[in-house]
Amino acid sequence: MLMLCSLPLLAQVNNAAPTPPMGWNSWDAYGLTITEAEFRENAAVLRDKLLPFGWRYAVIDEGWFFENPQDRNKPDTLRYSIDIYGRYVPVPQRFPSAAKMGDTLRILGASEGQPRPKLEATIQGPEYAGFRPLSNWVHAQGLLFGIHIVRGIPRVSVERNLPIEGSSFHAQDAADTSDACPWDPTNWGVKDNAAGQAWYDSLMKQYADWGVDLVKVDCIADHPYKVSEIRQIRRAMDKATAKTGRPMVLSLSPGPTNPAHAAEVASLANMWRISNDFWDVWSTSGNADFPQPLKGQFDRLAEWSQFDFKPGEWPDADMLPFGELRPSPGWGEPRHTRLTLDEQRTVMTLWSITQSPLILGANLTLLDDATLRLLTNREVLRMDQHALERGKPLDAFRTGDLRVWRTVTRESHGEPRVMVGLFNLSDAPMTVDRSASELGLVPVGGTKASAIVDVWAKKILGPVDRVRVSIPPHGCLLLELAP
């Protein structure tokens, strides 16, 4: 096991996410198109059916500031919604509660004698409510509120050289126009200078004022890895938290984050992606890593298992593309997930045994009973939320078609419980006949065990000396030592 080097860990980093965040994100079902009505409908289901099991975060992903998100692939035609300080704000046509404070909208045109800006933007006045009313509603449901952003400063704001709130700087002082996200046309990078810090201070103040609990920052964890901007965001978050007393979770995307940065990202963020975007595919041809296939996540998670992270530091295997991915998924055509039920159990077991954040992508208004059962197995969720040690692969099963991961969780009465996942990576059924000790099913902490329990099937397999089971293709068994 590699110990992370001793870097100063700010209290806010850990306190924001003492356990892996669990919740729902709009991207897998709605892509760029989510509206307030759709968000509220999904959040209501989250509240009613999943919150009792720990699923708390409701997150609006990319594009909430686009007036015409359907034109994302034609960036010159995009129309943005920003405030007088150049920060993105939700589009009132899509999020009507954002304008409930008597705001007057106006189109920012060219100043007299100046060329007309190339990028279209609607400027919302100083009394614009933004996400505050929606955040208040989310909190009233007992949930937490999150948003997605791309690192940097809006190009529409740089083009107009708008002032940065709380400073004497303007957007062009902060913008690095030589640094653009390779796949996103909306922002320029931010300089590592006082103006750049003022920009992020202004941004995080805005989010704190809105009551945001989680900020997912994209194009920052890999291709490219922008540690200077991560540090700026961390400092800005800490300033905002010091004023409000409300810590915000910092989530970094996309992956694969390089394990060489493990100590650094753990000292600055709460969760960071360990792979490229994960979707509902088992494998990809050749060496393609987009979309990230499920089969490939075993090696990526094994690579991150060598580190001894603290609570509040969560390597993130990405969202769960379960259920109905419609009406406008962030990748591919509208569909029911292509993952089989066995593959979905593999995802839930692997993510939970490694204590990855659990962020669901399904359209919750179309949540079916099979998916609901998958998401509400308390023993599986206990691995993710209450492990005494993070799951690791057994050295004897790091390669090949049989992979074995082991963790120790704590029962509600405080007793440690050993849990072991057996995963079949082959395309055919697999028979396993091994001693319990060979598979890591050995009691810990002086406890005794009399049986092995199949957690998903909720049945006792037999005595603890040997395991004889069949595992379906791409499937898994989750075994627990029971007293």
Residues 58 and 181 in one domain: yes
pLDDT digit string, tens, across residues 161-182: 999 999 999 999 999 999 999 9
Tell me the HSE value of 321 on the side-chain side, using a 13 A CA sphere.
31
Is 4 part of a structural domain of the chain?
no
CA distance 211 to 197: 21
- Short-list 26, 50, 24, CA closest to 38: 26
Is 124 part of a structural domain of the chain?
yes
Burial class (CB in 10 A: 0-12, 13-18, 19+), 41: middle
What three-state secondary structure class fits 226? coil
Is 216 part of a structural domain of the chain?
yes
Inter-residue contact 315 to 24 (CB < 8 Å) = no
451 is in which domain, residue-wise? 395-482
- Short-list 348, 82, 376, CA closest to 203: 82
Predicted confidence band of residue 3 (pLDDT cuts 50, 70, 90): very low
Query: What is the mean pLDDT of the segment spanning 242-257?
Result: 95
- Listed residues 385, 419, 442: the one ending a domain: 385
Residues 359 and 433 in one domain: no
Residue type, 178: S
Residues 331 and 474 in one domain: no
pLDDT digit string, tens, across residues 88-140: 999 999 999 998 644 444 444 444 455 667 888 888 988 899 999 999 999 99
| pLDDT for residue 483 | 80
Exposure string of 54-89, with b = 16+ CB inside 10 Å and e = fewer, is: bbbbbbbbbbbbbbebeebeeeeebbbbbbebbbbb
Show the 3-state SS of 123-144: EECCCCCCCHHHHHHHHHCCCE
| pLDDT for residue 14 | 56
Q: Are strands 314-316 and 144-150 parallel, antiparallel or unpaired?
A: unpaired
Predicted confidence band of residue 288 (pLDDT cuts 50, 70, 90): confident
| pLDDT for residue 447 | 76
The strand pairing partners of 451, in sequence order, are 482
Helices 294-304, 341-353: axis angle to 10 degrees equals 10
Q: Are strands 271-273 and 105-107 parallel, antiparallel or unpaired?
A: unpaired
Residues 414 and 335 in one domain: no
| CB-based contacts of 182, cutoff 8 Å, min separation 6 | 219, 223, 224
Residues 372 and 426 in one domain: no
Give the pair of three-digit tokens for residue 23: 């919740």
Is 1 part of a structural domain of the chain?
no
Residues 259 and 127 in one domain: yes
Residues 183 and 329 in one domain: yes
Domain CATH code at residue 381: 3.20.20.70
- Listed residues 353, 385, 417: the one ending a domain: 385
Phi, psi of 185, deg, nearest 5: -95, 5
| pLDDT for residue 450 | 84
| CB-based contacts of 409, cutoff 8 Å, min separation 6 | 382, 383, 386, 387, 388, 416, 417, 419
| pLDDT for residue 371 | 98
pLDDT digit string, tens, across residues 27-78: 999 999 999 999 999 999 999 999 999 999 999 999 999 999 999 989 899 9
pLDDT digit string, tens, across residues 200-237: 999 999 999 999 999 999 999 999 999 999 999 999 99
Is 390 part of a structural domain of the chain?
no
Residues 323 and 284 in one domain: yes
Helix H or strand E segment including 295: helix 294-304
Q: pLDDT > 90: what percent of the chain? A: 83
- Listed residues 347, 367, 385: the one ending a domain: 385
Residues 221 and 122 in one domain: yes
Residue type, 214: L
Is 315 part of a structural domain of the chain?
yes
Query: What is the mean pLDDT of the segment spanning 262-266?
Result: 98
CA distance 304 to 258: 10
What three-state secondary structure class fits 1? coil
CA distance 361 to 280: 11
Residues 73 and 159 in one domain: yes
Is 2 part of a structural domain of the chain?
no
- Short-list 50, 48, 44, CA closest to 138: 44
Residues 325 and 435 in one domain: no
- Short-list 88, 1, 18, 59, CA closest to 305: 1
Is 6 part of a structural domain of the chain?
no
What is the pTM for the complete model shown?
0.94
pLDDT digit string, tens, across residues 385-438: 999 989 999 999 999 999 999 999 987 667 899 999 999 999 999 999 999 999
Report the domain count for the chain. Answer: 2
Residue type, 253: S
Residues 376 and 275 in one domain: yes
Measured at the CA of 278, the angle between CA 285 and CA 179, to 5 degrees, comes to 100
Inter-residue contact 34 to 64 (CB < 8 Å) = yes
Question: Residue 251, Cβ neighbours under 10 Å: how many?
Answer: 27
Inter-residue contact 256 to 276 (CB < 8 Å) = yes
Domain CATH code at residue 421: 2.60.40.1180
